[in-house]
A and B are shown apart, each in its own frame.
Chain A
Amino acid sequence: MSISWFKYAAPMNFYQLAGRLIPWFAWSAAILTGVGLYIAFFVAPTDFQQGEAYRVIFIHVPAAWMSMFIYLIMAFWSAVGLAWNTRLSFMMARALAPTGAVFAFLSLWTGALWGKPMWGAWWVWDARLTSALILFFLYVGLMALWSAIDDRRRGDRAGALLTLVGAINVPIIYFSVKWWNTLHQGSSINLMKAPTMASIMLTGMLVLAIAAWLYTLAVVLVRVRGIILERERQTEWVKELLEH
């Protein structure tokens, strides 16, 4: 069986495909969020070291993961767009940024609210926190850059370049806790001392991480559909679509 992937590189086909996929992503995100929150508050037990404060982890870790994943996907689409000048790639990059910014902010916010009771400080300038803050600034800077450049093609290319240069920050965030002596702990797994607790906490975290993925897919596809309509408004298929 061969699927013609290039078919969906055409905005018209992608627009229709995305329209069919969005409800599936949205509903599965909603259901998994419900399951994940149930595990987070009613199944996962109290942590013997951190008490109930550890329950921030169920948001903090998925948000932090998403903020990095989304940036890597943006970097991927930026590279594809710069290399092959494919229209859809730049649209994807633009559609991803706001959701990436939301997750980057949430990772900082929940981190501060978790840091205060555990470390005694909302914020410290250690390598992990500082590089995560830079990631948030990169998202905001990218969106500001795009909105500042009226010429769409120039904006696309400038944004793609900035995205690629900024991608160096993602491995820095990820490995910061290994490379430097940080107040931020090494990995979330070492929170879980007792094996029976480990699995259910990890399950809750993973369920919410998958929910965050599906949410991102749904939201980004809605956003990219809007961008497609706007950019393809001179084409016959969009004109026809707007008739109805």
Chain B
Amino acid sequence: MQWESLSAFLDMGGYGLYVWGSYAATFILIAAELILLRRGQKQNLQRLKRMRNWEAQ
């Protein structure tokens, strides 16, 4: 184990802002992409079903 403590891990030898700023942005963007994708998928399906029902009438 190369980290002496949690604070040393978070500090990243003084580069915490840069290292964690990179990983946080990556995590946020990927999470956002997954959430938007799931939501878009549901909305798309609902819309297509509505159109289908409307056309079937």
Which A residues are within 8 Å of any B CB, using their own CB?
41-42, 45-46, 51-53, 55-56, 59-60, 63, 98-99, 102, 105-106, 109-110, 113-114, 116-117, 215, 219, 222-223, 226, 229-230, 233, 238-239, 242-243
- Where chain B touches its partner, the secondary structure class is helix
Q: Do residues A55 and B19 form an inter-chain contact, with CB atoms below 8 A? A: yes
Q: 7 nearest interchain CB pairs?
A: A52-B13, A53-B15, A110-B22, A52-B12, A113-B18, A51-B13, A56-B22
Chain B's interface size range is 20 to 34
Whole-angstrom distance between the Cβ of A8 and the nearest chain B Cβ: 21
Among B15, B51, B52, find the residue whose CB has the most chain A CB atoms closer than 10 A.
B15
Q: Mark B1-37, 1 if CB is under 8 A from A, else 0.
A: 1110000010011110111011101100110011001
- Distance A230 CA – B50 CA, assembled complex (angstroms): 12
Of B19, B41, B44, which one neighbours A53 at CB under 8 angstroms? B19
A106 close to B18 (CB less than 8 A): no
Assess whether B22 is in contact with A226, with CB atoms less than 8 Å apart.
Answer: no
- Supply 13 A–B pairs (Cβ within 8 Å), ascending by A: A46-B2, A52-B13, A55-B19, A98-B33, A99-B33, A106-B25, A110-B25, A113-B19, A114-B18, A222-B41, A233-B52, A238-B48, A239-B52
Supposing A113-B22, A219-B37, A233-B51 touch, asked if A55 and B30 sit within 8 A by C-beta, the answer is no
Query: Are B25 and A109 in contact (CB-based, < 8 A)?
Result: yes
CB-nearest residue of chain B to A239: B52
Judge whether B37 and A114 touch: CB under 8 Å: no
**Residues of chain B with a CB closer than 8 A to A42's CB:** 1-3
Q: Are A233 and B25 in contact (CB under 8 A)?
A: no
Nearest chain A CB to B9 CB, angstrom units: 8
- CA of A233 to CA of B51 in the docked complex: distance in angstroms? 9
Q: Which residues of A contact B51 (CB under 8 A)?
A: 233
Cα separation A238 to B12 with both chains bound (whole Å): 52
- Docked-complex contact A59 and B23, CB < 8 angstroms: yes
Chain B residues, Cβ within 8 Å of A102: 29-30, 33
Closest CB-CB distance, B5 to chain A, in whole Å?
14
Q: Tell me the smallest distance from the CB of B36 to a CB of chain A, in Å.
A: 8
Q: Which B residues are CB-close (under 8 A) to A219?
A: 33-34, 37
- A113-B17 Cα distance, complex, nearest whole Å: 8
Q: Are A59 and B13 in contact, with the CB atoms below 8 A?
A: no
Kindly provide the distance from the CB of B39 to the nearest chain A CB, expressed in whole angstroms: 11
Chain B residues near A46 (CB, 8 Å)?
2, 13
Contacts of A113 in B (CB 8 A): 17-19, 21-22
Residue of A nearest to B19 (CB): A55
For residue B25, which residues in chain A have a CB less than 8 angstroms away from its CB?
106, 109-110
- Complex: chain B residue closest to A33, CB-CB: B30
